[in-house]
Amino acid sequence: FPEALTDFLQGLNDVQRQAVLATEGPVMVLAGAGSGKTRVITYRIAHLIRNVGVLPQNILALTFTNKAAGEMRQRIDSILEYGSASSLWIGTFHSVFARLLRSYIHLIGYDRNFSIFDADDSKSLIKQCMKELNLSPETLPVNLVHSAISKAKNSFVLPPEFHRKAIDDQSQKISLVYERYVHKLRENNALDFDDLLIKPIELFTEQPRVLEQLQDYFKYLLIDEYQDTNRVQYLVAKMIAEKHRNIFVVGDDAQSIYSWRGADISNILNFNDDYGDAQVFKLVDNYRSTKTILDAANSVISRNTHQIKKELVANAGMGEPITLIEAFNEKREAEKVAEHIKSIRLSKGAQYRSFAVFYRTNAQSRVIEDMMRQNRIPYKIFGSVSFYKRKEIKDAVAYMRLVLNDRDSESLLRVINFPPRKIGDVSINKLKEFAEERNISLYEAVKRAGEGGFQARLVNALTQFTDLIEAMRKQAEEGTAYDVLSMLYETTGLLSLLKEENTPEALARHENLQELLSMTRDFADHNPNSATLGDFLSTISLASDYDETQESDNYVSLMTVHAAKGLEFPVVFVTGMEEKLFPLNSYEPGELEEERRLFYVAITRAREKLFLSWAQSRYMYGQPQMCMRSTFINEINPNIIVTEGGRKLSESPKKVAATAMAGRPVFGSSLRPQPGGSPAAKVPTVKPAGSARPTGAAKSEYRPGTRVQHAIFGPGTVLEVQGSGAKQKVKINFRTAGEKTLMVQYANLKIV
């Protein structure tokens, strides 16, 4: 290519450029975070259009999020200097195939005006199917069925196969629902989200000519984040690429974090089996992060046994050390995050948009949101709904609002049949009429349903409902919002219902409800004189209004680590670095490895500065729980971590003590600061200071009753002295650690 045409390729390194120029045939780029995989896709598209002369509409690029798609389009426009990116096909699998199906779906018996059912729509249809099959949601929760069906669809297991494989009673029931649900979707001329991927496969199989047409149309197929594609996505991509074989995929097995949603890492591992002649490029230079941040990321991910070994070398300098924030509870943790944001903004002139705060579970966002508001820091939550807008939170709050104000019919309608009480729409409409006739509130009508000639079963259900509300009201008069909410959870069994469902979604709802309970508890602890239900509701109504007041695009980004994939920020805070929180699940080695990949993703989002924070106690299940610092922190070289006071973690006695006592190696052998040093050798010595003399110089001074200080065990009193010289031992009763016998020569005791 003439130089003038390829000048923009100067923005790439050699291997990246080779990957861009290898336009024909199957190509895979397998490389670590921040090595420019997404950049290569972007430049490759620009190159195809500008230098190879491919028409933009003949290029299909699949990204993981719509946000990523938008950014890619913008970049291509800016490289090509004209608006040709508009006719490119860039988007998520779902959005691209929804668009294609609009043109072709009539060929497999749907109308082109099909509806797309979101998760709520799907669930209500599933509910309907179950009703027709006489399956009670009490024994077979709708969410469980929904998630089982979705999982099957994403693995391309259709009803007949599902039916064949259904051995136990529950799967057999789900199989019946699945079949009926698929049928009903068709009756409704509707597709659910998963159908957006399945229907193209059906279309291509039934109408090979359509497939051929599309194969000729999409001459070039590019896929980002290939490690997180699932089976259907893999199949669809393979079908489209079959003819021209110009399939270009980029990924990093170390960043595979969606296996719980059916993502299948073997798609990346087996790329070579499908395409024997595939060219594979490995990028090793990282252009995103400082050397410090990369060192941390590399040493963390190297602990995983199941991964393709990859090199990742920093292009930038050491940069700043990682700061470990330690707080006594989660509120203080969030407050410290806010303080650091404010101080970096002032000292470095950084914009709010330079900061991101990550958390492992959605429920953690609440405290952080609150602290951002209190500190007047603009923020935006990505990838999920703001805490107060989540369905389960709105449901619980609706109960509380109804307790406070029984004329709040909106709230009443929200919860009258939640959890399900067999109070249907027909009954509710009749109740509304009854209320209107008598000119009473809907709640009053519900209470007096006995006078309205309603069926006994219905009256019974309604009475149970109003009994609950009345009991809660009584509780509210005497107690706090915490008491009211606890009663709600206990009486309705809300939490246990979700726990039994045991789907990731149900567990997230469970956590959120727990978080709300923790919040009321905390509110009561901190506002002993004004923690009534009304006080609490006023506080949170104001909080939930805040979202709408955000206008500019300069805000701190709040998101789960999952939602952060592919993104980058100058300053990143990873919060909740505690055992059982991050890592969240670590019962099985496979789970621990996925958590570790997630931590790797989190670390590698940071460009200049990384903060890791943890709280010594955290409200969970409505109670403050003691927390332990995450073992993941021990997987980072303590020489590159400093405390907020600026002290190196490797020199912080308390932390080393904690890890040494937990019996874990402090740091991997290859990266240990002193070659050959054992963890024990790293136990810090307490420097002799002032009048205190080192023990070596004054062996004879030990006698029963001598008061000593030990770096790990703290203060203690000598009980007994045994032997002398190099072999001298002392038996000490430590105030907290109990009795220990130590060799004087190695114990580094200080006489106090």
Active site residues: 37-38, 224-225, 255, 605
Binding of residue 33 to ligand ATP (CB under 6 A): yes
Q: Of residues 20, 27, 30, 38, which one binds ligand ATP by CB under 6 A?
A: 38
Closest of 87, 67, 84, 65 to residue 76, by C-alpha: 84
Which 579-608 residues touch ligand ATP, going by CB under 6 A? 604
State how far the Cα of 154 lies from the Cα of 152, in Å rounded to an integer: 5
Residue 475 contact partner, candidates ligand ATP, Mg ion, none, CB within 5 to 8 A by sort of partner: none
CB of 63 to Mg ion, least distance (A): 9
Q: Which is nearer to ligand ATP, 288 or 360 (CB)?
A: 288
Q: Of residues 26, 28, 39, 125, which one binds ligand ATP by CB under 6 A?
A: 39
Q: Which is nearer to ligand ATP, 356 or 506 (CB)?
A: 356
Q: Which is nearer to ligand ATP, 535 or 568 (CB)?
A: 568
CB of 520 to ligand ATP, least distance (A): 39
Q: Of residues 287, 454, 489, 546, which one binds ligand ATP by CB under 6 A?
A: 287
Residue 366 contact partner, candidates ligand ATP, Mg ion, none, CB within 5 to 8 A by sort of partner: none
Q: Of residues 6, 8, 13, 432, which one binds ligand ATP by CB under 6 A?
A: 13
* Residue 53 assigned ligand-binding role: no
Is residue 186 a contact partner of residue 125, using CB atoms and an 8 Å limit? no
Q: Which is nearer to ligand ATP, 360 or 607 (CB)?
A: 607
Binding of residue 252 to ligand ATP (CB under 6 A): yes
CB of 12 to ligand ATP, least distance (A): 5
| Virtual torsion, Cα 325, 328, 333, 338, nearest 10 deg | -90
What three-state secondary structure class fits 91? strand
Q: Which is nearer to Mg ion, 37 or 607 (CB)?
A: 37
Q: Of residues 566, 622, 624, 638, which one binds ligand ATP by CB under 6 A?
A: 566
Binding of residue 34 to ligand ATP (CB under 6 A): yes
222: number of Cβ within 10 Å: 26
Residue 750 contact partner, candidates ligand ATP, Mg ion, none, CB within 5 to 8 A by sort of partner: none
Is residue 572 a contact partner of residue 340, using CB atoms and an 8 Å limit? no
Instruction: Copy the structure tokens of residue 605.
Output: 């989002």
* Residue 714 assigned ligand-binding role: no
Long-range CB contact pairs, 509-513, < 8 A, 24+: 509/390, 509/391, 509/392, 511/361, 511/362, 511/363, 512/362, 512/363, 512/387, 512/390, 512/392, 512/393, 513/392, 513/393, 513/396, 513/489
* Residue 35 assigned ligand-binding role: yes
State how far the Cα of 159 lies from the Cα of 182, in Å rounded to an integer: 8
Cis preceding linkage at 583, omega within 30: yes
Is residue 710 a contact partner of residue 732, using CB atoms and an 8 Å limit? yes
State how far the Cα of 739 lies from the Cα of 39, in Å rounded to an integer: 60
Q: Which is nearer to Mg ion, 34 or 622 (CB)?
A: 34
Q: Which is nearer to ligand ATP, 521 or 605 (CB)?
A: 605
Contacts of 723 (CB under 8 A, 6+ apart): 729
CB of 713 to Mg ion, least distance (A): 48
The site for ligand ATP, by CB under 6 A, has a size of 18
One-letter-per-residue 3-state SS of 671-740: HCCCCCCCHHHHCCCCCCCCCCCEHHHHHHHCCCCCEEEECCCEEEEEEEEECCHHHCEEEEEECCCEEE
* Residue 254 assigned ligand-binding role: no
Is residue 682 a contact partner of residue 711, using CB atoms and an 8 Å limit? no
Binding of residue 288 to ligand ATP (CB under 6 A): yes
CB of 566 to ligand ATP, least distance (A): 4
426: burial class by Cβ within 10 Å (0-12, 13-18, 19+)?
exposed
Binding of residue 37 to ligand ATP (CB under 6 A): yes
Give all strands (DSSP E) within 338-487, no chain letters: 355-359, 379-381
Name the residue with the smallest CB distance to Mg ion: 38
Q: Of residues 20, 26, 27, 35, which one binds ligand ATP by CB under 6 A?
A: 35
CB of 605 to ligand ATP, least distance (A): 7
State how far Cα 143 lies from the chain centre. 20
Q: Of residues 9, 15, 16, 560, which one binds ligand ATP by CB under 6 A?
A: 16
CB of 568 to ligand ATP, least distance (A): 6
What residue ranges bind Mg ion (CB under 5 A)? 37-38, 566
Q: Which is nearer to Mg ion, 65 or 143 (CB)?
A: 65
Q: Which is nearer to ligand ATP, 607 or 750 (CB)?
A: 607
704: number of Cβ within 10 Å: 11
Which 117-176 residues touch ligand ATP, going by CB under 6 A? none
What is the DSSP secondary structure assignment for residue 63, as one 8-state letter? E
Residue 39 contact partner, candidates ligand ATP, Mg ion, none, CB within 5 to 8 A by sort of partner: ligand ATP
* Residue 11 assigned ligand-binding role: no
CB of 566 to Mg ion, least distance (A): 4
CB of 8 to ligand ATP, least distance (A): 12
Binding of residue 366 to ligand ATP (CB under 6 A): no
* Residue 613 assigned ligand-binding role: no
Maximal C-alpha separation, the chain: 100
Binding of residue 319 to ligand ATP (CB under 6 A): no
Stretch that binds ligand ATP, among 7-15, 332-340, 374-382, 578-586 (CB under 6 A): 7-15
| Virtual torsion, Cα 443, 448, 453, 458, nearest 10 deg | 60
* Residue 450 assigned ligand-binding role: no
Cα distances (Å, whole numbers) of residue 353 to 452, 568, 569: 58, 11, 8
Binding of residue 12 to ligand ATP (CB under 6 A): yes
Is residue 443 a contact partner of residue 473, using CB atoms and an 8 Å limit? no
Give contact residues for ligand ATP (rule: CB under 6 A).
11-13, 16, 33-39, 252, 255, 287-288, 566, 568, 604
Annotated binding-site residues for ATP read: 31-38
Annotated binding-site residues read: 31-38
